[in-house]
Structure 1
Amino acid sequence: MTLLDSELAGAAPQPEEAGDALTLGRRIRERRTALGLTLEQLAAAVDRAPSQLSAIENGRREPRLPLLRALAAALDSTVDELLVDEPPSERAALEIAVERAQRGAVFRSLGIQPIRVSKATGDETLRAILGLHQEVERLHRERAATPEEARRANTQLRREMRVAGNYFAELEQAARELLDSVGYAGGPVSQRAISSIAEKLGFSLHYVSDIPHSTRSVIDRRNGRLYLGNNLPSRDARAPILRALASVVCGHEEPRSYGDFLRQRVEANYLAGAVLLPEHATVELLSEAKQQRQISMEDLRDAFAVSYEMAAHRFTNLATERLGLQVHFMKAHESGTLIKAYENDGVCFPSDALGNLEGATVCRNWTARTIFSQPDRFNPWYQYTDMASGGTYWCTSRVEKAKEGLYSVSVGVRFEDVKWFRGRETPHRSRSFCPDDRCCRRASGELTSKWEAAAWPEAATPTSLLAALPTGTFPGVDANEVYAFLEAHE
């Protein structure tokens, strides 16, 4: 069991599509109806607004334990009876199945307005909707055959990260122990300190010109050597060293599946961030910034001399657990492709039918896309976006450059939490209706009628479009090249 596995073992389960909340809501509604109580009467009995109870009965909100106890008492029931997993009736089971389907990633990707399931909706209508949805799901599964294992593993891992608030105490503890071992006293963690950590773990650092092209680093455990390319900037060498050493610190073994491989990468990136932005010092800085209502990714980046992306990602590790903030993070290529994403604030990221985010196209009206059209690349871009899926979100975004081109890194929160952040006074505002393709993907009727029959573009097809998933113990790594490299340097 890895550090991430053991940390998640104690986390409370969070159903993918709120199935438990739907069942609980139906049981409460059925019990209330059987007792002849109106929604208003039950709300008065538990001292809550009728709208709150309506959201609970519809499975859109889960009651906390004190409210659940009050509901059980008012309904002459028990908490255990209300929490039974089985739907209270055959009709309720059908309603729950349709509601769950309409809230899933496949239905959302179709851009169809969900129907309101009410008493007047006939059983045959519900069965027809459910049958159609199941057939669409089957077709999507067939089309997603090649990279399905990787996408499913990635979706599952992201779900686990969301349950944990993207905070993993054992990795934080491991980072503290590494820093304590080299006498870290505060401020940016130096390259010398990272070299000392490597030495404490029994490894010498070697910068070489012939690092295998399919690798970022290579560890020789037999001779205690860590090889990196000699073209790394001195400051940026810290993160690659820490990511490489994470396999030693976290006790990684050869991955048995793509899921293991992805989990190990998450742990390596997390550990590197936790060392370079130590928890205590980072939380102290962010807490003070929150008091002053001036939380800023730029300040976090500058305080610890790290990249903007690492600062933004590290913020998501600590925002929920240590600052009480629910947030989202995204990295998008200038083409609009979503590269990385995390959320626990309810923002509706684009996704494929399996719920996987990476590779989906980001709405042109989101901050992560609008920033590319801004002339000032030296200051952050702030924007409010009104979402068709519900609610308004505020984001701060910045453009960075990589060998693959430009990409944006964005951090955002719900409207009610923007009061803690610098940039909340921005006048910039946008609206997004995605996944409705009329939002930003469909041309106007005038342009369509003019060019539809005349345009014949050649697609710039990615070389990986039809490629099989990389094979090998470490997917994408040329083992023959690595072994030959180690033999040459021994």
Structure 2
Amino acid sequence: MHFFPYSQEMNSAGWNLPGRGTDAGANAADDGGLDVISLGRRVRHLRKAAGLTLDGLGTVVGAAPSQLSLVENGKREPKLGMLQSLARALGVSIDELLGAEPPSHRAALEIELERAQRGPLYQSLGLPTVRVSSRLSLEVLESLVGLQHELERRLDEQSATPEEARRANSEIRAEMRARNNYYSDIEAQAQDLLKAVGHDRGPLSHHVAADIAEHVGFDLHYVGDLPHSTRSVTDLKNRRIYLTQGQRADHDPRSVLLQALGHYLLGHETPRDYGDFLRQRVYTNYFAAALLMPERATVDFLKEAKAAKELAIEDIRDAFAVSYETAAHRFTNLATEHLGITTHFQKVHESGIIHKAYENDGVNFPADHTGAIEGQPVCRFWTSRAVFDVPDKFRAFNQYTDTAVGTYWCTARTERHSSGEYSLSIGVPYAHVKWFRGRDTTERSQSKCPDESCCRRPPADLSAQWAGHAWPSTRANSHLLAAMPAGAFPGVDETEVYRFLQAHAQR
């Protein structure tokens, strides 16, 4: 295939995305690390087989019984010295102690139930966890694990392409969180390109963006008949990039051009699946942002603002002549890597639904059973929801929010797009607020989510009056019920694109 259509279809991770953290022990085996749940059950099995109590084993290995209990329950990863002492005390080798095969049928069930309860599916149900102990009968264990299998099976039956999209978003978000949303290889490529065209400081103009395209060897063609499902089309055969001068205000023309170049310069090939398509979108959007806001200049700006305790997203926006959203995204790229600040970002529709998000600061975003947060409603007490009711739309709105996992300070503002009004918010844990302008705000809220009594269940007095007497007609968007468009580039009519290229090639 010899074209790169830049689709107008906007998916939830369509910039530089990562949800919600999981327990360290829940997915350790999947990540190639130590499976602390399996290890704990094996230690317990071997201890009981040796006729030892926790106190007795603690005396032998020189550890407190409470520490050993945490190890057996899969809540603490023992150090190498402890592993060696445990192996000697239990009469097995290290390899046997770390073996993947559960020591018994019961242990296998306990391990599976423990993993399930720490996973996003179980957490999304809002159910209390069951303490997995020897007092739990084998029949109850088998029933609980069986129910988990059946629930997963039924959910998998619904895994049409919308489900696939949510899983893909969760996967790319996990990747981004693991890297603190910083991609050094893409930064280096962007820096080399800027150096080649002689741009170092200040906003990147349309003229310099065109110079970049020329340096790479592409001609720019502005046309009035660009396929309706695309923002740009790249003709790799004739090395042309087709754009339209009628771009909506939603999209910065410089960014559209740089994203199109990114596909080529990052060596992208035709997407194999939706996850590949999404990952390419993330990387090209990151690439464009790294050109619009060069790493060296942006980091210098941020460090100066941090030293003055005047960090503010609107200042970044103004300094580099980009949108507030682009400035917020770029802040998440650089904040942890260069400033040591963990953070989270949200783009929330006026309906309260998450459109895009990222976090590496432990904030408890709502999530479905796959771990995906796109399409989930945000607590109405969070800054990203409260800002819609603020009459002053010119300045940023700042608020502290006490949550179940800590206090966060967030700054937010709203912007109107063709698809409605959205809030854009950047937040940090309380420990980092001292670096930001707006930290002196007196606005404060409390969120008890995911407790349903917080904001998902109507107040008792209203329910008493209206429960059973209301029948709202839901505004159901048809795209939520349909499968994702088929094809290598979801949402793109390839026939329309090919006809467009053929017509312009002949001209």
**TM class by shorter-chain length?**
0.7 to 0.9
- Give the match's secondary structure for 1:393: strand
By how many angstroms is 1:140 displaced? 2.3
Q: For residues 200-219 of structure 1, what are the alpha-carbon distances to aligned partners after superposition, in whole Å with 9 as ceiling and x for unaligned?
A: 11112222222211001111
- Give the match's secondary structure for 2:180: coil
Distance in 1 separating the partners of 2:331 and 2:195: 22
Asked if the contact 2:87/2:94 (under 8 Å) is kept, the reply is no
Are 1:454 and 2:460 matched, yes or no? no
Aligned AA for 1:393?
Y
Are 1:126 and 2:141 matched, yes or no? yes
Distance in 2 separating the partners of 1:62 and 1:283: 36
- Give the match's secondary structure for 2:190: helix
Distance in 2 separating the partners of 1:246 and 1:129: 48
Q: Select 1:420's aligned residue among 426, 435, 447.
A: 435
Instruction: Please name the residue that 2:110 is paired with.
Output: 95
- Give the match's secondary structure for 2:217: coil
Distance in 1 separating the partners of 2:70 and 2:304: 36
Asked if the contact 1:203/1:226 (under 8 Å) is kept, the reply is yes
Are 1:72 and 2:83 matched, yes or no? yes
Instruction: Please name the residue that 1:8 is paired with.
Output: none
- Give the match's secondary structure for 2:462: helix
By how many angstroms is 1:461 displaced? 1.4
Q: For residues 382-421 of structure 1, what are the alpha-carbon distances to aligned partners after superposition, in whole Å with 9 as ceiling and x for unaligned?
A: 2222333x33333222212211111112222233333333
Residues 224 and 62 of structure 1, relative CA distance in 2, 3 Å threshold: same
Aligned AA for 2:371?
G
User: For structure 1, which segment, 410-419 or 460-469, has the greater mean C-alpha deviation from structure 2 after superposition?
Assistant: 410-419
Asked if the contact 1:69/1:79 (under 8 Å) is kept, the reply is no
Matches within 5 A, 1:376-387: 376-387=392-403
By how many angstroms is 1:107 displaced? 1.5
Aligned AA for 2:352?
G
Distance in 2 separating the partners of 1:234 and 1:351: 27
Distance in 2 separating the partners of 1:348 and 1:87: 32
Distance in 1 separating the partners of 2:250 and 2:429: 38
Q: Select 1:266's aligned residue among 251, 272, 282.
A: 282
By how many angstroms is 1:358 displaced? 1.3
Distance in 2 separating the partners of 1:277 and 1:299: 13
Residues 52 and 427 of structure 1, relative CA distance in 2, 3 Å threshold: farther
Distance in 1 separating the partners of 2:76 and 2:361: 14
Distance in 1 separating the partners of 2:414 and 2:320: 19
Are 1:303 and 2:319 matched, yes or no? yes
Instruction: Please name the residue that 1:394 is paired with.
Output: 409
Matches within 5 A, 1:2-17: 17=27
Q: For residues 100-145 of structure 1, what are the alpha-carbon distances to aligned partners after superposition, in whole Å with 9 as ceiling and x for unaligned?
A: 2122222122221223334443443333322222222222222343
Matches within 5 A, 1:226-305: 226-232=241-247, 236-305=252-321
Q: Select 1:362's aligned residue among 355, 373, 378.
A: 378
Asked if the contact 2:204/2:292 (under 8 Å) is kept, the reply is yes
Residues 58 and 419 of structure 1, relative CA distance in 2, 3 Å threshold: farther
Residues 264 and 31 of structure 1, relative CA distance in 2, 3 Å threshold: same
By how many angstroms is 1:230 displaced? 0.8
Q: For residues 263-292 of structure 1, what are the alpha-carbon distances to aligned partners after superposition, in whole Å with 9 as ceiling and x for unaligned?
A: 111111110111111112222222333344
- Aligned residues with identical type, % of pairs: 54
Q: For residues 342-363 of structure 1, what are the alpha-carbon distances to aligned partners after superposition, in whole Å with 9 as ceiling and x for unaligned?
A: 2222222222222222112212
Distance in 2 separating the partners of 1:95 and 1:326: 35
Q: For residues 438-479 of structure 1, what are the alpha-carbon distances to aligned partners after superposition, in whole Å with 9 as ceiling and x for unaligned?
A: 221221233223223322222111021322220122111112
Instruction: Please name the residue that 2:451 is paired with.
Output: 436
Distance in 1 separating the partners of 2:96 and 2:310: 47
Aligned AA for 1:385?
T
Instruction: Please name the residue that 2:166 is paired with.
Output: 151
User: For structure 1, which segment, 326-335 or 407-416, has the greater mean C-alpha deviation from structure 2 after superposition?
Assistant: 407-416
Aligned AA for 1:354?
T
User: For structure 1, which segment, 259-268 or 75-84, has the greater mean C-alpha deviation from structure 2 after superposition?
Assistant: 75-84
By how many angstroms is 1:262 displaced? 0.8
By how many angstroms is 1:152 displaced? 2.2
What's the RMSD between the two structures over aligned residues? 3.1
Asked if the contact 1:151/1:354 (under 8 Å) is kept, the reply is yes
Are 1:180 and 2:211 matched, yes or no? no
By how many angstroms is 1:248 displaced? 0.9
User: For structure 1, which segment, 228-237 or 137-146, has the greater mean C-alpha deviation from structure 2 after superposition?
Assistant: 228-237
Task: State TM-score, norm by structure 1.
Answer: 0.85
Are 1:105 and 2:107 matched, yes or no? no
Aligned residues: 470
Instruction: Please name the residue that 1:135 is paired with.
Output: 150
Asked if the contact 1:16/1:159 (under 8 Å) is kept, the reply is no
Distance in 2 separating the partners of 1:399 and 1:297: 13
